[in-house]
Structure 1
């Protein structure tokens, strides 16, 4: 983990606060890849469609929420379940190095990818040395 992006405290579903819907809220597993130009976050959010993702950036806190629509077969009663359904939420505290107007997000096969480009003034600058 770098100094540019820090994550909130780990929480399991049992430790999360109760919601108005009574559903569990999961903390999606996240990979963070950093280059000189950008930081990419990859979050696992199975069952979340692009229109059900809500991403906000307020006061340097990037909050990602995903809503899952319950899928239960009609006229069948669940006898046993190993897969728990619930919504997703994760928050990251951002440095001032990113350009908020250029943040990109894409969902594909249950994986949300966020691209956070660094601001031009935060880019490393190469100084050319000349001989005299």
Structure 2
């Protein structure tokens, strides 16, 4: 078996995966739960530009102090996913938390988008 090698000056591109998400809707909010194993809160970026919400997570590879990696078959990767938001979302109140590799995004509904019952009067 022969292993292919490339010159030392060639940088290997990092893989980018779309994280699996669950989307849950309540009366007041829409929740997006994105699985990003290996990502901590310092390596997550959530941006909103116009109507596009983008989540990015960077995975820091394991390092063993005092050792040098000579060969690896497993390559991790980073995460990225985008969503287009409707006008029903209150952009100023979006919140994000990270817990055990899962990003929790709370997208509150704007006031007018909430369901309300309108009474009907007899004339």
Q: TM-score, normalised by structure 1?
A: 0.74
What is the alpha-carbon root mean square deviation over aligned residues?
2.3
- 2:81 alignment partner, one of 90, 107, 111: 90
Question: Is the aligned partner of 1:45 residue 2:29?
Answer: no
Q: Which residue of 1 aligns with 2:55?
A: 64
Please report how far the alpha carbon of residue 21 of structure 1 lies from its aligned counterpart in structure 2 after TM superposition.
7.0
Which is higher, the Rg of structure 1 or of structure 2?
2
> Aligned partners of 1:67 and 1:40: how far apart in 2?
22
Aligned counterpart, 1:112: 103
Give the deviation of 1:79 after TM superposition: 6.0
Structure 1 CA distance, aligned partners of 2:70 and 2:122? 77
1:45 Cα deviation (Å)? 0.5
Listed as ranges, the gaps of 5+ residues in structure 1 are 1-19
Q: Give the match for residue 7 of structure 1.
A: none
Whole-angstrom distance in 2 between the partners of 1:117 and 1:101 = 9
Q: What's the offset of the Cα at 1:89?
A: 0.4
1:81-110 superposed Cα distances (whole Å, 9 cap, x missing partner): 45x311110000111100011111110000
Number of aligned residue pairs: 112
